[in-house]
Amino acid sequence: MLLLVPDSILLSVGQKNYSVSRRQQDAVGYLLRPDRVFDGETMHEGWVVRVKDDKIEAAGPANSVSATGATVVDLKGTTLMPGLIEGHSHLLLHPYNETPWDDQVLKEARSLRVARATVHAKKTLEAGFTTVRDLGTEGADYDDVGLKQAINKGIIPGPRMMIVTRALIATGSYAPKGFSPDIDVPQGAEEADGHDALIQAVRRQIGKGADAIKIYADYRWGLMAESRPTYTLDEIKLIVETARSSGRGVVAHASTAEGMRRAILGGCETVEHGDAGTPDIFALMKQHGTALCPTLAAGDAISQYRGWKKGQDPEPERLKQKRDIFKQALAAGVTICAGGDVGVFSHGDNARELLLMVDYGMKPIDVMRSVTSINADVFKLTDRGRIRPGLLADLVAVQGDPTKTIADVQRVQMVMKGGVFSKR
């Protein structure tokens, strides 16, 4: 019976496409020869990596890895790394200074949004990000499911996608808002509350393709301008229990201390943003093993859209606070994911987050660990995120050494996904 499941058929179609493209490249394997290899944890000068089919076959000092039968690819001057993992993207959004979020949700055709998303996917891959955790379609229903399928079938180039589909919000708490209370405006995520409706919504989203569930644990709610917690602790526990039954985790948007506290105690695996975190909250995150995805680049971009001239004007208060809480999280030993909330700013500029993580106080090598092995561990992607025999041959080579100069991560020379060159 298993063979009749549509996914299995898609998979075999995908493999056929894949073997065709391999034959076109006329090689059974590659020996990649950079100056050095960052394996996701540490740097190794003079290492080479051998790729066979879609996997890493060997990695080690040049004299320990045979080149026999492989096409040698000279990557002089580069650092070879695992394909980067974007921790927080929205491929179905584009920068808010081009079109405000409300207008994207209410005025753009879904077909227009998907057409844009295919371009976003290509740009993301070419920037060296071979995986994205895409955290919500923001009003585009289940369009991330088809986008992911189109990439997996080889119809369009793009990163491997971990998706959450519509995301969950407490009724009345999300956006677009500011309309007459007499009309119902379509929302950027799915409203669901209480025992039965939440269980159904979680199961429905999983059934339609969600790899994880995203909730909004707080939001700027009603006529008040400030964020307030939405779901109760019991509701969050219920969502987590329902998702976990299927082996899936829960991601929480939370920017208030109380929203964060409920997300942590409720069993969410990551907290997104965390703007009003406190030393106590970060200690709680450390205790429960909850990771923080700080999305520094989103705040930086939005401040600039609001008129802040970076490099000329003094830094806005909001960003100074973000620097403080990021330092508090680091001091508490919280696991830090790398995820910028891409979509708020341009897809393909994902590395902006990595540069800001260094600017806000992290060591470059720790940032490179976050965007490779740590993101893979936190998102439970056990087949990638490191350069190690048997893992997927998702690889990126950049000019220079980003563990010393983080901006080198933007100097992408080569991208390989599943043993196939996406950029060379």
Residues that bind Zn ion (CB under 5 A): 341
Please, what is the minimum distance in Å from the beta carbon of residue 368 to Zn ion?
23
Please, what is the minimum distance in Å from the beta carbon of residue 49 to Zn ion?
33
Please, what is the minimum distance in Å from the beta carbon of residue 33 to Zn ion?
38
Beta strands in 62-209 (DSSP E): 71-82, 84-89, 129-134, 160-163, 168-169, 190-191
Closest CA to 326 of 302, 297, 292, 301: 292
Beta pairing partners, 392: 55
Please, what is the minimum distance in Å from the beta carbon of residue 406 to Zn ion?
23
Please, what is the minimum distance in Å from the beta carbon of residue 133 to Zn ion?
10
Nearer to Zn ion, 339 or 364 (CB): 339
Nearer to Zn ion, 303 or 422 (CB): 303
Task: Tell me the C-alpha distance between 234 and 230, whole Å.
Answer: 12
- Please state the length of the chain: 424
Distances (CA, A) of 269 to 167, 250, 335, 371, 386: 15, 6, 11, 17, 21
Tokens of 204: 């429905």
Nearer to Zn ion, 79 or 350 (CB): 350
Please, what is the minimum distance in Å from the beta carbon of residue 274 to Zn ion?
13
Q: What angle do CA 12, 210, 11 make, to 5 degrees?
A: 0
Task: Tell me the C-alpha distance between 181 and 174, whole Å.
Answer: 14
Please, what is the minimum distance in Å from the beta carbon of residue 88 to Zn ion?
6
Please, what is the minimum distance in Å from the beta carbon of residue 253 to Zn ion?
7
DSSP 345: S
Nearer to Zn ion, 39 or 341 (CB): 341
Please provide the DSSP assignment of 286-336 as one string: HHHT-EEE--HHHHHHHHHHTT--TTTSPPPHHHHHHHHHHHHHHHTT--B
Please, what is the minimum distance in Å from the beta carbon of residue 183 to Zn ion?
26
Please, what is the minimum distance in Å from the beta carbon of residue 417 to Zn ion?
24
Nearer to Zn ion, 294 or 402 (CB): 294
- Calculate the CA 159 to chain-centre distance: 10
Nearer to Zn ion, 80 or 344 (CB): 344
Please, what is the minimum distance in Å from the beta carbon of residue 373 to Zn ion?
23
Edge to edge, the sheet with strand 213-216 lists 190-191, 168-169, 213-216, 250-254, 270-273, 291-293
HSE, side-chain direction, 13 A CA sphere, residue 394:
27
Query: CB neighbours (10 Å) of residue 184?
Result: 7
Point out the residue whose Cβ comes nearest to Zn ion.
341
At 27, which amino acid appears? Answer: A
Task: Tell me the C-alpha distance between 45 and 38, whole Å.
Answer: 9
Nearer to Zn ion, 39 or 134 (CB): 134
Q: Which residue has the tokens 């493999």?
A: 15
Residue 361: which H helix or E strand, with range?
A: none
Task: Tell me the C-alpha distance between 2 and 190, whole Å.
Answer: 31
- State whether the Cα torsion 345-91-138-206 is positive or negative: negative
Nearer to Zn ion, 255 or 403 (CB): 255
Nearer to Zn ion, 266 or 294 (CB): 294
Closest CA to 125 of 347, 400, 384: 347
Nearer to Zn ion, 89 or 335 (CB): 89
Nearer to Zn ion, 51 or 170 (CB): 170
